[in-house]
Structure 1
Amino acid sequence: MNTYGLIVDKSIKKNIKIYRYMTLGKFMCMMEKQEIYLTKIKSWEDKWEIPTDEIENKYLHDNDLYGQCWSLEGTSDALWKIYSSNKEGILIETSPEKFKLISDIKFGILSPVIYYNDLEKALLQLKNMKGDKAIFGSGLLKRSAFKHENEVRLIVINNERCLDKKYENCTHINLKIDPFKFIEGIIVDPRASDWYLEAIKLYCLRLGFNIIPIKSDLYSPGDF
């Protein structure tokens, strides 16, 4: 039973869609294992994540922050090229309230990141943050060079207050999810071949999806 529940930041409207770009392998893993994974934020490639190490040891949970990146952008050329270099990527679409279907999260947050140019000002904003969001705030700071990603993060702390148990010595946490209830749309890379789109359609049909995958029309002449 959720003690606190997943907090959806008030800036995220209920009727919007949230997207995650992923490789085919990660999509298949999610489907076959019916799991969603969160990664230790300090292990992410960008070493500017969680920049609070340089200030007083106030943020005691920083080393235990785990997250997953989503986006409010469903038609991003840059994100397709970043997450789908082989032109076979998958984009899944869902709604904010659906994140509450993820099992074992007793306390966490779904929130847009806070983009900054001036780290000192960003840390001051973090220091003045109030309420439950302040607990996860240091995992929401991101340099403005990545602003085009329009990122939303799902964040928890790896402890028994936020999860059903504390996971020891791991960079990833796998949590159960019913993808058939969670996913509302499946979109294939706009550069993908027609045969690939048909293969994804057959795969999703075999799994039991009612959703029919579509190909992104990002590069369609009809967009002009």
Structure 2
Amino acid sequence: MITKGPKIRSTEKSKEFEVKDIELFDSVRKRFGPIMNDNNVSYYKLGALMGGPFYRYMDLETALICLENKSLRFSEPSLWQDNYESRFYNANYKNVLKGKNENEVCPLFYSACLTGKKNNEAAWKIYTYGKVGLGARCVEFTLDKFEFRKELISSLENYSIYEGLVSYVWEGDVDRMHQKSIKINKKLEDNPWYAMFFTAFDKREYLNLMLLKRDAFEHEQETRIMLVPNTPTKDKGEKHIKNGKTIYGYPLDVTIDWGKVIKEVRYADSCTDVEIKILKDAVKKAVGFTGNDDEWGKDKRCPKCYPIYGIRQKITIQKK
């Protein structure tokens, strides 16, 4: 169910924005209810979700570490590279809490991003930008969506998991969303964004703010998974240096048996033969493959090349 409210423009490819309700994820509960009960884990969704598998992009160095350690790193938003995405995580909400417990309404959480878009050319470049060595190569994992959710539920204890599609909005609206009144045609008027989020501010509105992203990134078609500890807390976190500035936040490494979730692996064609062999050996180990090379070549999980950076195949235009 989507709560009705003032309609606000979104980007060309998106529907008009409305705050998404938090709902129990019934299909996940039906499949994994016993594990969820044992681990005291709840799973929620925010609005409609995308069909099909998850895709996860990483640079090759990170991919090898994840495969070897059987883990995936989730991070507090304060550690995200894009400051726009963490502006509402780091915001001061005292003026709109109206006596509510801030740790319950605005909890600490850890997040990881996936996409429903295969062959996301921008992602192939973004995850290796400015990196060298193995970090300059990109890998795309195709993941079984329900097996991935099962791994999260099995690995966590005393957590609430929230899954939602990112909403892409105009950058100017993100800049002034926190302002109660804004100038429209040189006149001071009520800000519809403020009315939507902060008139009755609670966890639903807070988590929806965590799903906002600037329209410049709409091509990502991102799904965000947020892990909220059931014991509310929001301390300062560990000290980090980002772009020369001191920031605070925690990472969380979640155990993932990649052998159970990987459906396919692809790498950029800029990878060398040695890098390809290292990746294939790591994937074989992760999925527990013990056959010969011919059998591995026929396995759907066998890493394939995605020709994006190199010379594209030359075609011949047919005659009329």
Verify same fold: TM over 0.5: yes
SS at match of 1:221: coil
- CA displacement at 1:96 relative to structure 2: 2.8
> How far does the alpha carbon of each residue in 1:148-171 deviate from its partner, in whole angstroms, 9 at most, with x for none?
21111111224437xxx9999342
Q: Work out the CA distance in 1 between the residues paired with 2:142 and 2:315.
A: 20
- CA displacement at 1:82 relative to structure 2: 1.0
SS at match of 1:49: helix
2:102 is the alignment partner of 1:60: yes
Structure 1 residue runs of 5 or longer lacking an equivalent are: none
- CA displacement at 1:172 relative to structure 2: 0.4
Q: Work out the CA distance in 1 between the residues paired with 2:45 and 2:167.
A: 15
Contact 2:108 2:234 in 1 (8 A): no
> Counterparts of 1:162-177 in structure 2 under 5 Å?
169-170=237-238, 171-177=250-256
Note closer, same or farther for the CA distance 1:196–1:4 as it changes in structure 2 (3 Å cut): closer
- CA displacement at 1:94 relative to structure 2: 1.1
Match of 1:221 in 2: 313
Q: Work out the CA distance in 2 between the residues paired with 1:129 and 1:181.
A: 42
**What amino acid is aligned across from residue 78 of structure 1 in structure 2?**
A
Contact 2:160 2:229 in 1 (8 A): no
Q: Work out the CA distance in 1 between the residues paired with 2:237 and 2:201.
A: 31
SS at match of 2:78: helix
Structure 2 residue runs of 5 or longer lacking an equivalent are: 1-37, 178-191, 239-249, 290-298
Note closer, same or farther for the CA distance 1:203–1:3 as it changes in structure 2 (3 Å cut): closer
> How far does the alpha carbon of each residue in 1:154-198 deviate from its partner, in whole angstroms, 9 at most, with x for none?
11224437xxx9999342011212111122221112433455334
- CA displacement at 1:123 relative to structure 2: 5.1
> How far does the alpha carbon of each residue in 1:94-134 deviate from its partner, in whole angstroms, 9 at most, with x for none?
13322232111531112111211123355544458999855
**What amino acid is aligned across from residue 143 of structure 1 in structure 2?**
R
Contact 2:96 2:198 in 1 (8 A): no
- TM-score, normalised with respect to structure 1: 0.79
> Counterparts of 1:93-112 in structure 2 under 5 Å?
93-97=142-146, 98-102=148-152, 103-104=155-156, 106-112=159-165
**What amino acid is aligned across from residue 109 of structure 1 in structure 2?**
Y
Match of 1:89 in 2: 138
> How far does the alpha carbon of each residue in 1:16-53 deviate from its partner, in whole angstroms, 9 at most, with x for none?
01111111221122112211211010221222224432
Match of 2:302 in 1: 212
2:169 is the alignment partner of 1:116: yes
Task: Report which stretch shifted further, 44-53 or 147-156.
Answer: 44-53
The aligned length equals 220
The structure number with the bigger radius of gyration is 2
Q: Work out the CA distance in 2 between the residues paired with 1:74 and 1:173.
A: 26
Note closer, same or farther for the CA distance 1:27–1:201 as it changes in structure 2 (3 Å cut): same
**What amino acid is aligned across from residue 137 of structure 2 in structure 1?**
E
Moved over 6 A (4+): 128-132, 165-168
SS at match of 2:102: coil
- CA displacement at 1:5 relative to structure 2: 2.4
**What amino acid is aligned across from residue 83 of structure 1 in structure 2?**
Y
Match of 1:70 in 2: 114
SS at match of 2:81: coil
Q: Work out the CA distance in 1 between the residues paired with 2:144 and 2:282.
A: 23
Q: Of residues 82, 86, 91 in structure 2, which corresponds to 1:46?
A: 82
2:233 is the alignment partner of 1:189: no
Note closer, same or farther for the CA distance 1:222–1:182 as it changes in structure 2 (3 Å cut): farther
2:213 is the alignment partner of 1:142: yes
Contact 1:77 1:218 in 2 (8 A): yes
The higher-RCO structure (CA 8 Å, 6+ apart) is 1
SS at match of 1:184: strand
- CA displacement at 1:223 relative to structure 2: 9.9
